[in-house]
Each structure stands twice: as structure tokens, then as C-alpha cells.
Structure 1
Amino acid sequence: MKANKKLEMLSMKDGLTGLNNRRSLDKQLEIEWKYAQEEKEPLSFLLFDIDYFKAYNDTYGHIQGDECLKEVANIAKSVVFDESAFVARYGGEEFGILLPLANQYEAIKMAEAIRQQVEQRAIIHQASDVFKGVTISVGIMTVVPSENIQLISIVHGADQALYEAKRTGRNRISVYSHHKEADSNV
């Protein structure tokens, strides 16, 4: 019985970073979505990844790439100032942060704090076209869930915003809005 519990717990964690994994994020998203829908409260999702990470791996090797992933994960964990937040490795060099009850302003504040901390950590990245240190790009979507909106839309919106942040120069935050993308040039 104890072994099963331990296996289940391990299957919800990312082995490299120690963060929650994609599977546990998906489960938590369902729980928080239902709660936000019932309470008519906002829910924010941040999706971010390391800029030019493939070039980083090609330059410094996969062992150093793993160290970089761990460092960025630790920064995200340490910066998240909301204990209800759910930080996860989404896959590869992508990370997701679920912020229950957080409005768009609070989500942007959190994203900017993480972006700044990663940049200030100054992890050398000579292959980056943005900065000579590791940087991240962040996509944000905030929504008050309703019957008309599907759960997956919050992930798709954050993903589209992340793509926009990368398209417009990286090392920045982009916020998804239903009408258009809004940029935060940092």
C-alpha cells in the first residue's frame, strides 16, 4: 500500500526538476477550473520557456542543459509568492504555472518577477540572440471559466501568447486576450 502511494506521488513529479509534472498539472487544472467556474473567480495560467534552449544545449551540452532547467525551475519555485499556485514542468524547456483566483494584473506581476529573476541570475548563454544570459518568454491567459469556455482554452491561449512573445523578440511577456494579443515589452 505504501509503495503504491509512493509510486503515485513519483508519477506526479518531474524527475529532473522536482516540480510537478504535466500529468499533475492537467489534474490540478481540472480541479481549479471547476472551482473557478462555480465561484465565478478568475484563473490565470502562465506558460513560459527558455529562449534559444536548443542552442544552449548545442553549445554547452545536455548535462549543462539539465542544470539550466533545474536552475530555472528553482527560480520559478522561489519567486512564486502565492501558496495556491501550482508550478510544473510542462515538457522539455517549458514550464506552466496555474494561479487560482489571480487576475491578469497579478499574473503579469508574477510572470515579470520570474522573467527578471531568470535574467538577473545571469546564467551564461553565448548562443542567445537576445542576451548573453539565459532568458525566458512568457505567455499568459486569464479567464473566468464559464459554461461557454472549454478548459483547454486557457492552455491554448497561454500557448498563443507565448508564441507571440517569442515572435516579437523573446525575453518578454505576452498576454492573450480574446480580441487580440496584448504585449508587455520588457
Structure 2
Amino acid sequence: MKLSLYMDDRETEKIFSYLRWIFLLVGIMVFYFPPLADRLNFTKETFPILLVIGFVYMAVTQVALIKMSAVNEYFNLLTKAGIIFDYIALMWLLALTNGVLSPLFPIAYLVVMHATIYWRTKGAILSSISLTAGYSTIFAVQAQFDFNTTFVFILNLVFIWIIGGFGSLIVIRERKHLKQKEIFHELMFTDYLTGLYNHRHFQEQLRNMTSARQNFLLVMGDIDHFKQINDQFGHLTGDEILKNLGGIFRDLADDYDAQAFRYGGEEFAFLLPHTEENRQISFFDDLYGRLSSEKFSKECISVTMSFGIAASKGEVLPDKLLGYTDQLLYSAKANGKNQVKFESGHTYILLFESYR
């Protein structure tokens, strides 16, 4: 896992997931490891129940972190339910480990932080209120109102609210910086019109992938007769076409684990994982299918495109690969347009009736 000062909810949840496993081991040692358990002598009659519940929840969450997408609604529900689980587990542990004077009370600070990260000020307030209520209940049931116990009780509550207050301020500031970072990244690497990665990012990615000797496919594409479209219908129509193409190519890139770029003007590029030619043909079947079904504007309903595709083979220099793929693209345009030239010599021509 890459550590960063700016982490999304998924990365944050991974950290809390790992912390739960650590506390699970600590709990087992506190209750069952003889050198500790014999000295501490905590009540452990119900701890096995908590242990089983915790292990099941944590195992399911761990699988969800690996298998589910961060945008999956069940993933979000499962991970955010972790705050409720942490709260219940903490109250349970406090009741078993000397109540108000429990050495495990600092876990409460993590519960406040967890809630604050997800729900900001509202999370800080709600978690602080909940912990205050639960901790006060333990204090009342424990019925030890001597000076030492009462002093620890009040001090711990004060620190809960201090951490909640400062935590919310820190999270708000961190989220603001993250938003600024995302805006800066978008300005640096995204084409404003199409929403695709821009030429600069393309060059960086191409250089990095070739330097790492990765096997990948480079696709270069060009809108056929785009100058005539601009001359006949105007640049606003041309911009509308480019914008629509950007949406098509973003969705296509997501489906094929690829990256889509606006190379410049009416030229586009894809970086695809290396696959056999049959799979490459399926990619272009999908691409041309989306182009043919799109109505780009009122003035110009359809457009066609030509492409060239070549493999990196892990050794070629970026400029050489780009030049070779460009030659395949120019060959496709010279041979009639609306087709794809493969480095194997194969020519892909989509057979459908164009819209006018």
C-alpha cells in the first residue's frame, strides 16, 4: 500500500482494518497470554463471543477491501459500519477491563478519528456524544465514585471532545488540500474539452512504460475529414464532436483497463495492456460500434476515424514506437480512411452504412 498524506476512503479504511487485527491480537494476549492475563486478571467470560464476532466482521471487511470497488454501495456500507462495530467492541472491552480505568480506553480516540474522517464535524460530534454516553453508562454501572476514578473519568471525556474538535479541523483542512491537489492534477494532466488525459501526460506515460520495458499496445487515431467538418459546420460543432468523443473514449478505456488521451487537435491515443490480435479486433469492434451509434451534433450526425496500432514489445524507444504507429495511422488514412492498420499487416474495416 502506498502511504501518502492524502489518502482516499479506501486507503484510510485499509489502515483501520489493519489496526483492528492488531487490537485483536492485543486482546487475545491480554485475556489469554499467561504472563499478562494472570497479572491483569480481567473478566473474560464474554470475550470469546466478541472475539468470534470481531473475527467474522474483520474477515468479511478484508475480503471486501480486496474484491469490491470503492464505489460499490455495499463496500461503502460495510466499511462505514466499521465505526459502529468499533464503538460496540470498545464499550464491550472497557466493561471487561476495569471499566473507567481500562488501559484500552485510548482506542476511543481512534473511533473519534475514524468517524471524523468519514463524516467530518458531524462525525466528530456524534462519535464524541456516543462515547460520552457509553463511557458514562459504564461509570454509573461500575459505581466507583472515588476521587481517582472520577478524575480519570472526567479527564478522558475532556480528551475525547478535544480530539473530536481538533480532528474535525484537521480533516476539513486535509480534504481542502486534497481537493486543491485534484484540481491541480486535472489542470496539469487533463484536456479541458474532452476530459481525456492530455498530450503532456501521454508523453510521460509512454516514456515511463517503455523505460520499464512493459509490454503494451499503442493506438493512434485521427478523425477523418475533420477540417472539412470545421469549415462546413463551424468550430463549435467541431468542439461538440471532440467533447462527445472524449466521453466515448473514457468509457471505452475503463472497460478495457486502458488509458485514453487527446494527443492534439483531432488526434487521439490509447495505451492498452498487451493482448492477442483477436482481442485487439474486439476492442475496435466495440470502438467503432460506439462511434456508429453516437449522434454527435445536429449539424454533423456521424464521424469516422482511422487508427494505427502497434506493440511496444518491451524494448522499443518511445519516439520510435510513436513514429511507427503514426505511419500505420497515415497508411489507414491513405488507403481510404475509416479503418485500422495493424503492424501485422492486417487491415480492419468496419462494414456498416454511415449516417449522413
Please indicate the TM-score interval, normalised by the length of the shorter structure.
0.7 to 0.9
1:164 is displaced (CA, Å) by: 1.0
Q: Which has the higher strand share?
A: 1
1:113-132 counterparts in 2 under 5 A? 113-123=286-296
The aligned counterpart of 2:206 is 29
Find out whether 1:98 has 2:271 as its counterpart. Answer: yes
Cα deviation digits, residues 52-99 of structure 1 (max 9, x gap): 11111111110111000011111111223223x111100000100001
Question: Once the 2 structures are TM-superposed, how far is the Cα of residue 32 of structure 1 from its aligned partner?
Answer: 1.9
Take 1:107 and 1:21, find their aligned partners in 2: how far apart are those partners? 23
2:219/2:269 contact within 8 Å kept: yes
Partner Cα separation in structure 1 for residue 185 and residue 250 of structure 2: 22
Instruction: Answer yes or no: is 1:82 the counterpart of 2:259.
Output: no
CA pair 133-4 structure 1, distance change in 2 beyond 3 A: closer
Judging changes above 3 Å, is the alpha-carbon distance between structure 1 residues 101 and 161 closer, same or farther for their aligned structure 2 residues?
same
**Which 5+ residue runs of structure 1 have no aligned equivalent?**
none
Q: 1:161 aligns with which of 321, 328, 341?
A: 328
Q: 1 CA distance for matches of 2:323 and 2:251?
A: 26
Q: Distance in 2 between matches of 1:71 and 1:9?
A: 19
**Which structure has more RCO (C-alpha within 8 Å, separation ≥ 6)?**
1
User: Given the alignment of the two structures, is residue 185 of structure 1 paired with residue 352 of structure 2, yes or no?
Assistant: no
The equivalent residue for 2:19 is: none
Tell which deviates more after alignment, 165-174 or 112-121.
112-121
Give the deviation of 1:46 after TM superposition.
0.6
Q: Distance in 2 between matches of 1:153 and 1:113?
A: 28
Distance 1:92 1:141, change over 3 A: same
Tell me if the contact between 2:237 and 2:299 (Cα under 8 Å) persists in the aligned partners: no
Structure 1 runs of 4+ with >2 Å offset: 2-9, 100-109, 122-127
User: Which stretch of structure 1 is more off in the superposition, 23-32 or 86-95?
Assistant: 23-32
TM-score, length-scaled by structure 2:
0.44
Q: 1:34 to 1:111 in 2, by over 3 A?
A: farther
2:216 aligns with one of 33, 43, 46: 43
Output the CA distance in 1 between the equivalents of 2:207 and 2:269.
14
Q: Give the AA of the match of 1:91.
A: G
- Percent identical residues: 30
Aligned residues: 172
Q: Which of these residues, 187, 195, 208, is aligned with residue 10 of structure 1?
A: 187
* 3-state SS of paired residue (1:57): helix
Which residue matches 2:343? 176
Q: Distance in 2 between matches of 1:54 and 1:184?
A: 24
Q: How far apart in 1 are the matches of 2:248 and 2:306?
A: 14
SS at structure 2 position matched to 1:99: strand
Structure number with the higher helix fraction is: 2
Native 8 Å contact 1:25 1:88 kept in 2? yes
